[in-house]
Amino acid sequence: MPRNARVAPGMSAVVSRYRETNYNHGRYMATGACTNTMRESLLILNGPNLNLLGTRQPEVYGRETLGDIEAHCTQVGQGFGIGIDFRQSNHEGEIVDWIHEARTKHAGIIINPGAYSHTSVAILDALLSVDLPTVEVHLSNIHQREEFRHHSYVSRAAKGVICGFGSLGYILALQALAAEIKSRNQQAMAQA
């Protein structure tokens, strides 16, 4: 982690553990008495059409590009000592494959499934299969919009849902999962 990275309140324990350990592809082995393998990276998934952010209906989705959001998430993730794997796909099956892969690679998932939120039982089933803490994010407030956007299949697998705050929603989701990871790590250490 860069020396000048900001550490969010409440995350000092996780960050100092990060400093003491050997970070390797989103995992680390604790160097002290606890030898559990800790997964310290998050998968951030973006569904169809989100690659067009910045020019796509800016009055609804804002002017930030997906690249801007990725850069911000990566920076905030560094502050928490958490690696970010940020991806986008227009293909449902590819998103399902990435969720499966996350099972052994990541500590949690943030997902903006785009239009698949409202249609995809396959993405819901994939999330239910991997048992990782998941936060669903929408840039827009889907409940203020057309009725077909009010229901999300994905929400059934999500620990929480954040919508209507634009790109800030990704950062709020990251904070929520960082707290979740911290508490899981503390429990694992206590049991070791």
Name the residues annotated as catalytic. 61, 138
> Which member of 72, 103, 105, 149 binds ligand DQA (CB under 6 A)?
149
* Dihedral angle computed from the Cα positions of residues 183, 184, 189 and 192, in that order, rounded to the nearest 10 degrees: 150
Q: Which of 65, 75, 140, 155 binds ligand DQA (CB under 6 A)?
A: 140
| Residue 45 sits in the site that holds ligand DQA (CB under 6 A) | no
Query: CB–CB of 137/163 below 8 Å?
Result: yes
Q: Does 105 bind ligand DQA (CB under 6 A)?
A: no
By CB under 6 A, tell whether 139 contacts ligand DQA.
Answer: yes
**Beta carbon of residue 96, minimum distance to ligand DQA (angstroms, whole number):** 17
CA atoms within 13 A on the CB side of 88: 12
User: Whose Cβ is closer to ligand DQA: residue 103's or residue 149's?
Assistant: 149
Site string for ligand DQA, 3-42 (x = CB under 6 A): ----------------------------------------
Q: What are phi and psi of 122, to 5 degrees?
A: -65, -40
Between CA 184 and CA 82 the distance in angstroms is 14
Total residues contacting ligand DQA (rule CB under 6 A)?
A: 10
- Minimum CB distance to ligand DQA, residue 102 (Å): 19
User: Counting contacts by CB under 6 A, is residue 62 touching ligand DQA?
Assistant: no
Binding site for ligand DQA (CB under 6 A): 49, 112, 114-115, 117, 138-140, 142, 149
